Structure 1
Amino acid sequence: MDTLNLRLQEDPPSRKGERTRGRIKVATARMLERLGYHSMRVLDITQEAGIADGLFYFYFKDKSDAALAVLSEFVEFMPPGGSVDSASRTAFETIRETNYRFIRLARANAGLMRCMLQVVDEHPDFSALVQKVNRDWYVRVSRSVIRHYPGGAVDEDAMLLMTYALGSMMDELVRRLVINPDQNLLKLTDKIVPTDNALADALSVIWYRALYPAAEIPKGLRGTAAKLDALSKEQPLD
């Protein structure tokens, strides 16, 4: 939502019609965040945008058309920007930054992410877009990780499956922490990872251990991440 608004303010389209369409999309994003997909009405969008209903229908067929335009843009924005294998960061730093940004994005757009889950079930084309964006991101991540191993040492399909599994873990945790809060999980995270920084540390240790099992975790991690690191160094069970 903020991205749409900033883009409209900082780089407004040259044509008036495009600017109006942008205003409607911003208003739709706000109503999706505030009211949810099913409760939102065209009237809510037009009142938020300060336009007549007739003008809305000049640009969009109905509320679903406007919602899909907004959510499709949001989905394509979701993967973190920049390189997943930056020379200026270590592999752990890249994983940690990516996880932290995803957590913060979810908190800032919980309503939009909730609407995504609703719309996926009703619109196959949108579901296909979400799956494509996710797969493209997982492929980028898995190829980046493979470059840290000797040639032929890692099976590409196995690494891609690992990345899917780790990404799905993040999706489900965010859903239960932010989108549809699970009170038991919230109590647990409040106890052991009370901040987003601590949560990102802990989850990134899990990612790093799975993707680079022979590598050492960087020193200086916050409490829970350090405990997870210590667990991985315990003696095997009988």
Structure 2
Amino acid sequence: MSSGDDKLSRRELFAKLRPEKKPRSADYEEVAQTPAALPESNFDLLGLLQRIEGNQDRTVKSRVMPVLRPPGAIDETTFLAECTRCLACIEACPYDAIGLAGPQLRGAEGTPVLHPLQSPCKMCPDTPCITACQTPRETGIQPSGVLVAGRGFHMGKASIKTSDCLAYQGGFCSTCAERCPVSGAIEVNMGKPKIVPNLCTGCGICHHVCPAPWNAIILMPELMRPPREIKP
């Protein structure tokens, strides 16, 4: 190892030693949510949402894929139909964790989504994004209320791709477990991290801090979000 290697970070060192792979994006939105990457015949949001939410009466003209929404997001069908795209939740987030869905998401373009690779959700106890979504704006725009308080943080679920995880490939790394804000959501057994699904909130912090050359944390959105009003 040359003297110059002593100055490399852990991520840079593993990238240098590991065989080169075909370039790919680590951004969930670009890889897993891009409609263009899917066969057109298999791309049916309406059918997907109806099967997930069990509601055959709603119609969705937009054709997009489910995405990582901010805390408290209601069912995707209603969210798409009623979100006013007022940007209030984005402006209220103190960590810039919420951004706009891009044109690759078609009908969801301009709606709020999480960008954990850039800045994960810090799960603020006072949920300013939800407050902003429920509060009338000075411009007179009424809140859409598509983010609802009192439902905890259930944005998605993370999983570990062991073929890319340093701990599973002979190295030592527990960064995801060390930085996870939810106690017990990531366990480490024999030096290998494991995500506990029923505790994971999908905040994306593990995805954001993963030092592996190819991000080993995969985030999937919460597909079964409840409607605005929950019947007792």
The bucket for the TM-score relative to the shorter chain is under 0.3
Report the TM-score, using the length of structure 2 for normalisation: 0.24
Q: Which has the higher strand share?
A: 2
